[in-house]
Amino acid sequence: MIKEAMIETSILPAPVLEQNPQDAPKALPSLLGATREELAAALAAIGVPERELRMRTTQIWHWIYFHGIRSFDSMLNVGKNLRTALAEHYSLERPQVISEQLSTDGTRKWLIRLASETEGARGDEVECVYIPESDRGTLCISSQVGCTLTCTFCHTGTQKLVRNLTAREIVAQLVVVREKLGDFPGLVPPKDGLLPGEGNRPITNIVFMGMGEPLYNFDNVRKAVGVLSDGEGLSLSRRRITVSTAGVVPQMEALGREAGSMLAVSLHAVRDELRDRLVPLNRKYPIKELLDACRSYPGATNARRITFEYVMLKGINDSPAEARELVRLLKGIPAKINLIPFNPWPGAPYECSDWDTIERFSTIVFNAGYASPVRTPRGRDILAACGQLKSETEKLRARARLIAES
Ligand code: SAH
């Protein structure tokens, strides 16, 4: 029944759906991305008795997140009656993958369309990026559609449409990408691509460095980290999940305490006057307050360092004096420094620092005891690098709007 409804939805031409939302088949709520508590509540709501709840939740959790199954019928150790009841009330529908791009360096980018909140309307879109390296595979996921921060060097900040992703939508990004990479039992990995060394799962690390400011969506990010790191399901260690923030100081302590993830901070400047311009959020939470919050970040130790990201902008923040000041500022914080060559985008008001300048900067940082700090840009040819994410579809749609209005 659900299957039929889904097929029908996908073959109906979009304009008909958009004009007559009441004609669209009513979508059942998807359990994909639910927390354990939400899953238990969903089971209780369809009559699973209290005494069975724990056991059933564990069983179904394992099917959804460990096996990555798409249909309740595949839940072999769940009785037929419960499977039928599940299928009558819920789905395991995923967000739709709209497009996939493969970079010459093996980086992959997917544009993902989320389910629409309004019946029949087209859902919002986010991008996520997979970066395979010899010893790890990193998935870069989004926490918001667009971003409100307006950092002047970041393409995402120029996107108008902004909303928080739900915890389910955050988790679903990992699930759909694992499917694409053939990384659930019984699936086959793609033939055309570099995957990390043998014995590794393709995705070993998650970074919240896609679209959005994760700490402006703290509750959902915290919940999502709980699901991603659950040992009976998706099983990513919290030490391999990094949340990157532009510096939302009041939420940082709670992130460490409640999500237990690793922290990355987008610093980018060593003086408030410059950081105010690059990262306008600095006017609210200046460098000193930000670094104080880092000093007291729960769980930061030499084995669990905070990553400081620093984008290299030609003639703006890349002098040797600034490198020395950076080292001075970070004294006493268990830190890693990640120098990111600026990734250009059409119309960007900055250029990337010259290679010599980056090397000089990096040597000063290296001599102060920070190892291999330059991040190689990955996936530049498919606009998948840091700060380049902005949905192509959104640009096309904006262009169509302009034409319609003229
Ligand atoms: N809002 C969060 C996470 C998203 S951005 C944050 O600010 O940390 C992930 C990283 O990419 C941030 O360090 C961001 O400053 C950086 N970035 C953004 N645009 C960039 C660009 N064009 N080139 C290089 N790095 C960029």
pLDDT digits (tens, 9 = 90+) for 96-143: 999 898 888 888 999 999 887 666 677 888 889 999 888 889 999 999
CATH class of the structural domain 36-89: mainly alpha
Across all residues in the chain, what is the average pLDDT? 85
Q: Give the pLDDT of residue 115.
A: 85
Ligand 1 neighbourhood includes 209 CB (under 6 angstroms): yes
The tally of CA atoms less than 13 A away on the side-chain side of residue 194 is 18
Tokens describing residue 274: 């410059």
CA separation for the pair 361, 321 (Å, rounded): 9
Q: Whose CA is nearest to atom 18 of ligand 1?
A: 387
Cβ(91)–Cβ(27) below 8 Å? yes
pLDDT at 402 over 50: no
Q: Give the predicted TM-score (pTM) of the model.
A: 0.88
Tokens describing residue 168: 């389910």
pLDDT at 395 over 80: no
Q: Give the pLDDT of residue 118.
A: 66
Indicate where the chain has its CATH 1.10.150 domain(s). 36-89
CA separation for the pair 238, 205 (Å, rounded): 9
Q: Give the pLDDT of residue 278.
A: 97
- One of 3.40.50.170, 3.40.30.10, 3.40.50.2000, 3.20.20.70 is the CATH number of 96-401, namely 3.20.20.70
Ligand 1 neighbourhood includes 313 CB (under 6 angstroms): no
What counts of helices (H) and strands (E) characterise the chain? Answer: 13, 11
Place of tokens 């120098």: 339
- The CA-atom distances, in angstroms, between 63 and each of 44, 156, 230 are 18, 35, 13
More confident residue, 12 or 253: 253
Tokens describing residue 341: 């060559």
Place of tokens 């034409």: 403
Of 298, 341, 294, which is closest to residue 318 (Cα–Cα)?
341
Cβ neighbours around 3 below 10 Å, total:
12
Best-predicted range by mean pLDDT (53-57, 390-394, 395-399)? 53-57
401: left (phi over 0), alpha (psi -120 to 50) or beta: alpha
CA separation for the pair 108, 101 (Å, rounded): 6
pLDDT at 399 over 80: no
Q: Which DSSP symbol is given to 371?
A: -
Cβ neighbours around 401 below 10 Å, total:
10
Cβ(231)–Cβ(225) below 8 Å? no
CA separation for the pair 41, 53 (Å, rounded): 9
Cβ(38)–Cβ(224) below 8 Å? no
Q: Give the pLDDT of residue 5.
A: 28
Ligand 1 pocket test target in 215, 311, 337, 378 with most atoms within 8 Å of CB: 311
Q: Give the pLDDT of residue 194.
A: 54
Using 50, 70 and 90 to split pLDDT, how confident is the model at 373?
Answer: low
The answer to which of 41-50, 322-331, 392-401 has the lowest mean pLDDT is: 392-401
Q: Whose CA is nearest to atom 25 of ligand 1?
A: 386
Give burial (CB, 10 Å; 0-12/13-18/19+) of 8.
exposed
Q: What spacing in Å lies between the alpha carbon of 227 and ligand 1's midpoint?
A: 25
Q: What spacing in Å lies between the alpha carbon of 93 and ligand 1's midpoint?
A: 31
Q: Which DSSP symbol is given to 94?
A: P
pLDDT at 45 over 50: yes
Of 127, 169, 309, 322, which one is the catalytic site residue?
127
Cβ(319)–Cβ(269) below 8 Å? no
Tokens describing residue 131: 């970066």
Strand locations in 282-334 (E) = 306-312
Mean pLDDT, residues 291-305 taken together: 93
Ligand 1 neighbourhood includes 338 CB (under 6 angstroms): no
Indicate where the chain has its CATH 3.20.20.70 domain(s). 96-401
Ligand 1 neighbourhood includes 153 CB (under 6 angstroms): yes
pLDDT at 24 over 60: no
Q: Whose CA is nearest to atom 20 of ligand 1?
A: 387
Backbone angles phi, psi at 275, to 5 degrees: -65, -30
CA separation for the pair 53, 281 (Å, rounded): 45
Is residue 127 part of the annotated active site? The answer reads yes
Mean pLDDT, residues 156-184 taken together: 89
Using 50, 70 and 90 to split pLDDT, how confident is the model at 287?
Answer: very high
Ligand 1 neighbourhood includes 309 CB (under 6 angstroms): yes
Is residue 386 part of the annotated active site? The answer reads yes
